[in-house]
């Protein structure tokens, strides 16, 4: 399996998916686009829609607390928000004013629940949040 295929599999990317990128730097965007598999529809800084996946790089705790609610409403019932979070050694470099535990607690105040953590790069890892099963609308997931 190639690195590209491994990344696509790790983050659940499949052909034809609609994927949103929020707050991505150019290197992170390029890494994900390279891993994307045929016919994937990418949207930068989406404001609304229905996405199978959204990758989100928060800039501050206040911004995260507001934006995570919007992103929860943008994903399909079986979709996910991947919150890209700096590893502890890189928190200061990226100017993030919250810990992973604060990020998780804030997200859990929404309809989301975390269900997976995965390495993304040397400086970032990602936490997957999905809509709680009992709150999903549409066909049973």
- CATH number assigned to the domain comprising residue 69: 3.40.50.150
In degrees rounded to 5, what are phi and psi of residue 77?
A: -50, -35
Residues spanned by the domain of 60 = 3-133
Count the domains in the chain: 1
Element (H, E) at 46: none
- Residues 33, 36, 37, 42: is their CA dihedral positive or negative? negative
User: Which pLDDT tens digit goes with each residue over 13-60?
Assistant: 998 899 999 999 999 998 898 887 776 788 888 887 789 999 999 999
In a domain? residue 81: yes
Contacts of 39 (CB under 8 A, 6+ apart): 15, 16
In a domain? residue 129: yes
User: Which pLDDT tens digit goes with each residue over 51-99?
Assistant: 999 999 999 999 999 999 999 999 998 999 999 999 999 999 999 999 9
CA 138 vs CA 77, 132, 134: distances in Å: 7, 13, 11
In a domain? residue 141: no
Confidence class of residue 141 from pLDDT cuts 50, 70 and 90? very low
In a domain? residue 35: yes
Confidence class of residue 116 from pLDDT cuts 50, 70 and 90? very high
In a domain? residue 66: yes
Reading the block at residue 68, the tokens are 């995570």
Rounded to an integer, the average pLDDT of 94-122 is: 95
| Whether residue 3 has pLDDT greater than 70 | yes
In a domain? residue 140: no
In a domain? residue 68: yes
Residue in the block written with tokens 């934006």? 67
Triad 28, 103, 20: Cα angle to 5°: 35
């Amino acid at each position: 399996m190639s690195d590209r295929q491994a990344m696509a599999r790790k983050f659940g990317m499949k052909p034809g998916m609609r994927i949103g990128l929020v707050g991505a730097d150019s290197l992170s965007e390029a890494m994900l686009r390279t891993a994307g598999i045929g016919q994937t529809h990418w949207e930068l800084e989406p404001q609304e829609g229905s996405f199978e996946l959204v990758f989100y790089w928060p800039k501050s705790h206040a911004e995260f607390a507001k934006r995570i609610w919007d992103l929860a409403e943008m994903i399909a019932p079986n979709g996910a928000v991947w919150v890209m979070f700096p590893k502890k050694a890189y928190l200061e470099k990226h100017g993030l004013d919250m810990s992973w535990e604060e990020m998780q607690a804030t997200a859990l105040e929404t309809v989301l629940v975390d269900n997976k953590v995965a390495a993304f790069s040397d400086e970032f890892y990602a936490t997957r949040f999905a809509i709680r099963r009992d709150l999903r609308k549409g066909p049973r997931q």
